[in-house]
Amino acid sequence: MSTPTSPRGAPGIRRVRGVRGPTLHFWLFTGPFLVGLVIFVYVPIVWSAWLSFFEARSTVTPSEFVGWDNYVQMLTSGGFVKSLGTFTVFAAIVVPVTWAFSLALALMVNRLRFMRAFFRSVFFLPTACSFVAASLIWKMSIFSGVRFGLMNTVLGWFGVDTIAWLADPHPPWYWLVIVTVRLWLQSGFFMILFLAALQNIPRELYEAAAIDGAKSGWQTFRYITLPQLRATSTAVVLLLLIAAYQAFDEFFNLLPKATWGQPPLVDLYYTALGENQDYGRGSAGAMILTALICAVTLLQGKIMGFGRGDEEYTAKGGK
């Protein structure tokens, strides 16, 4: 029986290789990001989960264990529960509006035969603007609430009286301000996602549909374009839902110290960093909000078939 030899001819000796080549390059490039992810994301999540079971007022090193009391207090407090309900309605409004507007922009840009790159860049540019800066522009210029504000000036041409957009909660005109600023900031990014998906649709599908007598327009969009965008649409809705429940900057700057229209993150901000600095209750509220986002995400993914292949989704009744 012959003795196995190593690639270099030395019998019975295996050559031990260290971390080199593509593997070394991978860790060199991703290592700093992974370290930052662990330090600034995973460690705070674990720390917040641990802190939520303690009485922690003005300290992050508590000693009194209270169990589920912080969770019970957050779920029974009117402010936090009301903010969750309000923003469920807000998500139900802003998500489909942004999805439809982003898809419409992508379809329009995709049909252009000239200056496509220019319009793609123009619609994407608002994404680079911060929510704080955009909120201040909306508040001080467009929806300033005075007679010389842009929106009140335009409405004045049609005989409409001056509207205090951010001061009067009845009717809630502030929702129009918040939805429009979020629409302006987010639509360009999701337009790029839809545009990439549109450009990956095989042209043969449209040619075959034309041969079969399908009319260009609504029929082609409904039976060819929209089904081909299912995976992208699912991802866009998922990202929009998460962004809606994580809304903070525009509300904090547009509605300072308001008791109406307050999102969950603003309520948690005042709970943890307000007068009492109750880090225990704030951490419990953050865990509740995280669980809600996960539940809504899983439900949305199950409904829209996120993670399933086209064949499996079609077999289960999807279109």
Q: pLDDT tens digits for 254-302? A: 876 666 667 888 888 888 887 778 888 989 999 998 898 888 888 877 7
The DSSP secondary-structure symbol of 6 reads -
| CA distance to 136, 138, 185, 250, 265, per residue, from 132 (Å) | 6, 10, 11, 6, 15
- pLDDT, mean of residues 13-27: 66
The pLDDT value recorded for residue 8 is: 52
- Which tokens in the block code for residue 191? 């337009």
Range 68-315: architecture per CATH: Orthogonal Bundle (1.10)
The overall average pLDDT reported for the chain is 82
- Which tokens in the block code for residue 156? 């004045």
Comparing 304 with 117, which gets the higher pLDDT? 117
- pLDDT, mean of residues 170-190: 86
* Closest CA relative to residue 240, chosen from 157, 304, 285, 196: 304
- pTM of the predicted model as reported, rounded to 2 decimal places: 0.78
With the C-alpha atoms ordered 20, 26, 28, 34, is the resulting torsion angle positive or negative?
Answer: negative
The pLDDT value recorded for residue 319 is: 47
> Which band of pLDDT confidence, cut at 50, 70 and 90, is reported for residue 15?
very low
Q: Is 147 helix (H, G, I), strand (E, B) or coil?
A: coil
Task: Answer whether residue 194 shows pLDDT above 90.
Answer: yes
Non-local (6+) Cβ contacts of 243 within 8 A are 186
pLDDT tens digit sequence for 134-156: 988 898 888 887 777 888 888 88
> Which band of pLDDT confidence, cut at 50, 70 and 90, is reported for residue 102?
very high
The pLDDT value recorded for residue 12 is: 46
- Residue 54 β-bridge partners: 65
